[in-house]
């Protein structure tokens, strides 16, 4: 037993409420268990209990052992003067306190505590994998939709925070986030650091000149060399050298990597594609904001790297002819990870909640992702029907399962208690 599980049991009344008595042999009726307190002080605030027919209003404190009251110094802390009930798992010894004590050890179903103990010890893909595999999957999908909204809300708040940190410059913040998205997982940090050294105003100055943008991006990434024998690489280096001196560009000193990725995701290819995209307009984020149709947005984000890259993935190494086009999967990942969070943040900040909801609904039209996490859930029969579901599964695994937050998860609560899944209201909002 731990205090987190004890709080869960108390908050949801997962114990036998019949014929309650305190350790002082007083009759007890719980009117309101109180409101969980996330801050310092008693565990539950504003509770109401009736003891020997007398109604008491105040706070409720929980401990695994009754002796924890003195161990934690509550007997000398004025913050606990208004505690009307001390709830413990086990009464281990008498304490110097007049607060009525309720012991729960004999009132909680054995299967609940045993199942939770088993989950905390398991090394399976997720703690409740055995129970979840046999659960009615129709109950899971609404929770995945809620998790997806939570994920979008969290990311939109992060996007808005970055915009605020840049003096409400949406174009600059979006440019940095977009560069991060083009970096994929391996080079995300490096690409974002590179974007910081190339302010969007500088990028705008060279819009419609993708060759110059490509030279600056590849140069800032440290991918251009003075001793190259590749004619195109040599031209890029000369262009970069000119602009480096003209704008006094400072290197990011965060190297890019080619390892552990498919050739199509090589930083050379992705930066060349990013240069083409940024060369299409002087105000990319404004264009994105006006994109009411998902299909048109996809088409806009579909770009092809320059002709040199038709036969190359790296400088000086020829390959078979393949046009380096941003693929559908890559574009969809950009939309879910970069475009949707920024647009949601923008529209909410503008008070256009309907537009924010429309943007969030795009995930239902994007194909589901396929990765290790979604594959793990598919083995249990939970197959994502669209990207909203796969995003929900990522949120479930990363923010709940991997962090042992079973008691905060609607699925975990259901499997422990048999209650209906009730994830709560939409978390959207800044």
pLDDT tens string 73-87 = 998 898 899 999 999
Q: Are residues 98 and 128 in the same domain?
A: no
Q: Are residues 123 and 265 in the same domain?
A: no
Q: What is the pLDDT of residue 419?
A: 56
Q: Are residues 160 and 180 in the same domain?
A: no
Q: Are residues 177 and 285 in the same domain?
A: yes
Q: What is the pLDDT of residue 430?
A: 44
Q: Are residues 372 and 317 in the same domain?
A: no
Domain extent for 210: 171-326
- What's the number of domains the chain is made of? 3
The pLDDT tens digits of the residues spanning 265-299 come to 999 999 999 999 999 998 999 999 998 899 999 99
Q: Are residues 182 and 309 in the same domain?
A: yes
Domain contains 135: yes
Domain contains 341: no
58 touches 86 (CB < 8 A) = no
Token pair for residue 279? 């060369």
Phi, psi of 189 (to 5 degrees): -65, -40
Domain boundary among 326, 355, 381: 326
Q: What is the pLDDT of residue 424?
A: 53
* Residue 124 DSSP label: S
Q: Pick from 256, 214, 258: which is nearest to 238 by CA?
A: 214
Domain contains 210: yes
Q: Are residues 93 and 11 in the same domain?
A: yes
Q: What is the pLDDT of residue 418?
A: 61
CA dist 330 → 200, 270, 390 (Å): 22, 11, 15
The pLDDT tens digits of the residues spanning 226-279 come to 888 899 999 999 999 999 999 999 988 899 999 888 999 999 999 999 999 999
Q: Pick from 204, 173, 194: which is nearest to 280 by CA?
A: 204
Q: Which residues of the chain have pLDDT under 50?
A: 428-430
CA distance 120 to 5: 11
240 touches 219 (CB < 8 A) = yes
Q: What is the pLDDT of residue 417?
A: 77
The pLDDT tens digits of the residues spanning 172-186 come to 999 999 999 999 889
User: Helical H runs in 12-168?
Assistant: 68-71, 110-121, 129-133, 140-165
Domain contains 239: yes
Domain contains 342: no
Q: Are residues 390 and 356 in the same domain?
A: yes
Domain contains 312: yes
Q: Are residues 48 and 16 in the same domain?
A: yes
Domain boundary among 264, 291, 326: 326
Domain boundary among 326, 360, 393: 326
335 touches 362 (CB < 8 A) = yes
Q: Are residues 70 and 193 in the same domain?
A: no
Q: Are residues 152 and 209 in the same domain?
A: no
Residue 29's DSSP bridge partners are: 50
Residue 304 gets the label, from left (phi > 0), alpha (psi -120 to 50) or beta, of beta
Q: What is the pLDDT of residue 148?
A: 94
Q: What is the pLDDT of residue 382?
A: 92
CA distance 223 to 258: 11
CA distance 204 to 202: 5
Q: Are residues 156 and 75 in the same domain?
A: no
Q: What is the pLDDT of residue 61?
A: 95
């Amino acid at each position: 037993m731990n205090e987190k599980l004890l709080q869960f049991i108390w908050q949801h009344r997962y114990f036998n409420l019949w014929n309650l008595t305190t350790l002082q042999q007083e009759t007890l009726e719980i009117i309101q268990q109180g409101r969980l307190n996330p801050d310092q002080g008693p565990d539950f605030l504003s509770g109401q209990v009736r003891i020997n027919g007398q109604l008491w209003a105040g706070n409720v404190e929980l401990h695994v052992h009754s002796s924890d009251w003195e161990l934690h110094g509550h007997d000398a802390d004025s913050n606990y003067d208004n505690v009307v009930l001390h709830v413990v798992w086990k009464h281990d010894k008498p304490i110097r306190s007049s607060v009525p004590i309720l012991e729960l050890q004999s009132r909680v179903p054995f299967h609940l505590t045993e199942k939770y103990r088993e989950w905390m010890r398991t090394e399976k893909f997720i703690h409740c994998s055995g129970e979840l595999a046999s659960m009615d999957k129709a109950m899971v999908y609404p929770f995945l939709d809620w998790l997806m909204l939570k994920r979008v809300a969290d990311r939109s708040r992060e996007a808005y925070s970055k915009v605020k940190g840049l003096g409400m410059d949406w174009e600059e913040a979006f440019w940095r986030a977009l560069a991060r998205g083009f970096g994929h997982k391996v080079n995300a940090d490096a690409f974002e650091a590179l974007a910081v050294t190339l302010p969007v105003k500088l990028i705008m100055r060279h819009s419609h000149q993708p060759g110059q943008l490509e030279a600056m991006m590849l140069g800032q990434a440290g991918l251009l060399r003075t001793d190259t024998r590749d004619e195109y690489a040599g031209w890029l280096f000369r262009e970069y050298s000119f602009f480096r001196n003209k704008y006094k560009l400072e290197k990011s000193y965060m190297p890019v990597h080619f390892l552990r990725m498919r050739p199509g995701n090589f930083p050379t290819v992705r930066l060349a594609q990013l240069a083409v995209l940024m060369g299409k307009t002087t105000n990319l984020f404004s264009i994105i904001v006006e994109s009411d149709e998902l299909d048109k947005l996809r088409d806009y984000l579909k770009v092809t790297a320059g002709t040199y890259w038709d036969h190359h993935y790296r400088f000086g190494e020829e390959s078979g002819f393949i046009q380096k086009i941003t693929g559908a999967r890559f574009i969809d990942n950009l939309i879910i990870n970069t475009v949707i969070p920024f647009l949601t943040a923008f529209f909410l900040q503008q008070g256009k909640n309907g537009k924010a909801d429309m943007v969030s609904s795009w995930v239902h039209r994007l194909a589901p992702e396929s990765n290790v996490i979604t594959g793990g859930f598919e083995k249990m029969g939970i197959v994502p029907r669209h990207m909203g579901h796969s995003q929900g599964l990522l949120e479930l695994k990363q923010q709940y399962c991997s962090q042992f937050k079973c008691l905060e998860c609607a699925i975990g609560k259901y499997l422990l208690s048999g209650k209906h899944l009730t994830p709560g209201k939409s978390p959207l909002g800044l």
